[in-house]
Structure 1
Amino acid sequence: MPELHIEPLAEPLWPLLNKFYRHHDSPMKALKGGRLWVARDREIVAGLCLTPVVGGQWLTGVFVDPAYRGQGLAARLIRQAVADGEGTVWLMCHPHLEGWYQRMGFTQDTVLPQSLSERLVRYKRNKPMIAMGMERAL
């Protein structure tokens, strides 16, 4: 894999992540109030968003350019983005991704904050979704 730079995206550059998502016809969006992380080759090739919630952070928007998939980039990006945080990192995903996230240390044996529990109920009305969490030392 080429040497990629993984780093937080400065707030004035946040529109670039949404442009990246749109370029790949992804429905994902960078959330206001979150901390955006990207991997760059010359341009953004992967991104994610970490939004503070009670007790930890909510991980959303994990997306890797199809040309860069299968090389462990998403896992590297997630690990680096959550490395300095405390509390739990929660995510919601399609059930077929459970094994992939389990290998990173996420589990369904987690208690969601109320705001995420309510969101999960809404999401599950339209598609199969599971919630997972990864505890980090406080």
Structure 2
Amino acid sequence: MTAITYAPLEAPQWPLLNKFYRSHQSSMKAVKDAQLWVARGDEIIAGLCLRTQAHGFWLTGLFVAPLSRKQGVAAALVNRAVTACDGPVWLFCDPELQGFYEGLGFTLEAELPQALHERLVRYQRNKAMIALGIGL
């Protein structure tokens, strides 16, 4: 088995993350204006996006390939990406994932940058979502 590496994806390679998401029928999308992080062995097995927001970052698009789940890949990828951030990191998630993110040091976040607060309110109209933050 190839060792897993966790690192930012260089700008010219950003389409690889979208290809990964599509190959797993994920609705996640990598965007050019974000820091893209991946976990890979022989190929990409997980990815996430860190988008600049206010004085920090908004973590989106965390997805792990089904065969690589329950092996600590998501936790390792999030930890590496967040550690590299200069500023706070926020994310939105289903309340069922709160324990996972709290285990990584995130806490319930009552105060969000205005743009993220507005987005969360919109998302909450259609599904249960909570906001968490770290490095605040």
The TM-score, its normalising length taken from structure 1, stands at 0.93
Q: How does 1:7-86 map to 2 (within 5 A)?
A: 7-86=7-86
Alpha-carbon distance between aligned partners in 2 of 1:31 and 1:117, rounded to the nearest angstrom: 20
- Structure 1 counterpart of 2:128, one-letter code: P
Classify the secondary structure of the residue corresponding to 1:26.
coil
Identical counterparts, % of pairs: 56
- Structure 1 counterpart of 2:106, one-letter code: F
| Cα displacement (A) at 1:2 | 4.7
2:134 is equivalent to residue 134 of structure 1: yes
Aligned residues: 136
Greater Cα offset, 127-136 or 93-102: 127-136
Q: CA RMSD in A?
A: 1.3
1:112 corresponding residue in structure 2: 112
Distance 1:17 1:6, change over 3 A: same
Alpha-carbon distance between aligned partners in 2 of 1:78 and 1:60, rounded to the nearest angstrom: 10
Given that residues 11 and 32 in structure 2 are in contact (C-alpha distance below 8 angstroms), is that contact kept between their aligned partners in structure 1?
no
Alpha-carbon distance between aligned partners in 2 of 1:58 and 1:8, rounded to the nearest angstrom: 15
Contiguous gaps of at least 5 residues in structure 1 = none
Alpha-carbon distance between aligned partners in 1 of 2:97 and 2:118, rounded to the nearest angstrom: 21
Contiguous gaps of at least 5 residues in structure 2 = none
